[in-house]
Chains A and B, each alone.
Chain A
Amino acid sequence: MYEAVIFWVCAVGAVVTGVAVFRVDSMARATFALLASFVFAAIPLLLLGLSYLGVLVILMMIMEMVVMAVFMIMLMMNPAGLMPMTMVHNQRGSLVIAVGTFVVLATGVLLVDWPQRQGEPPADPTFALGEALMGSHMLVMLVVGLGLFATIVSAVVLAHPRGRYDRFGDDLSRRPADDPIRGVGR
């Protein structure tokens, strides 16, 4: 019973805050409305017994949205994001896409022949889900993760305007290094 109440509160909350993202006139409010929507979507995971995933989604979403708020407001066209703004661009097109996607997904939910539950839920659903998703592909996943990380690092290194020859001279012997500032960002 209480699970159903929590689920519906979260479902309605997620939709309402999701709509609020496009109704509010401030970048900061839009960001945190989106965050609230994500948190509402994470709580049903806890109801499914996926406590690790649920708490992790909350953790990562908060962190991600705060970092995103910093960059969004920094890069928005209005000064520091302090001016009223709207999140909606290409209003007609986005409306069509949003309504279309919703209709397709909703009809899918109603029309699909959902399977009946067979057997009992596992003792540790998070572990079972991890095995189902990763299973024998764990090594592949780890290598892919490492590859992605290496890509990020090399992209930053390539994009950085100053290299070690700028800092230490042509024969890398200049000490102390020629840095515009002390600390990071040199």
Chain B
Amino acid sequence: MNKLLIKGGRVIDPSQHIDKVTDLLIEDGRVKAIGNDLAADDAEVFDAGGLVVAPGFIDLHVHLREPGQEYKETIATGAAAAVAGGFTAICAMPNTRPVNDNASLTRYMVSKAQEAGLARVYPIGAITRGSEGTELAEMADLKAAGAIAVSDDGRPVMNSQVMRHAMEYARDHGLVVVDHCQDTQLSAGGVMNEGRISTLLGLKGISRAAEESHIARDIMLCELTGARVHIAHLSTAGAIELVRRAKARGLPVTCEITPHHFALTDAAVVGFDTNTKMNPPLRTEEDRMALIEAARDGLVDAIATDHAPHHEDEKMLEYDQAPFGVIGLETALGVALTVLHHTNGVALPRVVEMLTAGPARAFDLAGGTLAVGAAADVTIFDPEREWTVEPQQFKSKSHNTPFGGWRLRGQVVTTFVAGSEVFRVQ
């Protein structure tokens, strides 16, 4: 019998409202017990003194690029980056080449993830065929093959009638609809937040209205259809307010925020570093603080990375020509702890909740808990350890991060998936 005893760590498991220094016993890949002074004669012992023991993190929003763009990332390298960042489960967006809009592709992704044997990979299927926004993808078939949600992320579904029918159909099949909310006519040609900085730099802006009007539409369609809707990567104070009102009315709306949006503002674009180009764009300090406040007060369900690997050559272009997106799996915890917890006083259990129980609830995923009997996906981190971000050391194939050289406080120490150690910091 395979046993692991994690002793003396600060166990934070928001799913069970646990926050105390205690022991965790894992047996045959599952949580066997949580309690003081646990003993198991034949168990391997991990001394977690001074460390936080949490459920394995879940990332609702990553781009793994396989199939089609393996030079940027593969399922295996993405999964390696995930566990290095403490993520034991990641949800893979369907904008691969070809788009994951069919069961065979979903099964391929699942099998590649199993081969890698690192993080659990949950494919997200497309809402529409080819993510072209016109015909619905075969959602039931996608679900049967392993898809856990549907999204046309990166290509917002602009046709409201198509979106309505997608929500109606997804509801029947128990799938969450994840939307990248952006009116692409309002945002056409935009490469950064519209405002003072875009005017200074002469770069075309993306207004807040482009995001907020689309969120408002989705909330109305959510009310109309009763579907579960997850709003990806909120970036504005107005977007937060819209979700707040929807939740207050009891609508089944969930949301995520990303570390780059709560750590940075559009001021970072001055200097034209293309690692500050993402979609939605970095917004203003007012927006950033609204995200932090929403993280603190419980509105936000999940911290998601929107991990978007791009090859160095692709980012080494003119700012307006470079692709959108930054990676984030390996910096998420450090940025979240540094910005939310250490700098802005967001409670540690709340940060852990947005990385574990919150995302699990949003997509009805197993995991995000250390409940007895649950799979022993465990992330152990040091909330105080300081480290410097060195992108060239990442497990990810790509290095397009805006956090290179940042000094962060908080680092993953070791990650277990089903009781097996899949990562340990050097």
A and B held together in a complex: no
**B contact set with A: CB distance below 8 Å:** none
Residues of A at the B interface (CB closer than 8 Å) are none
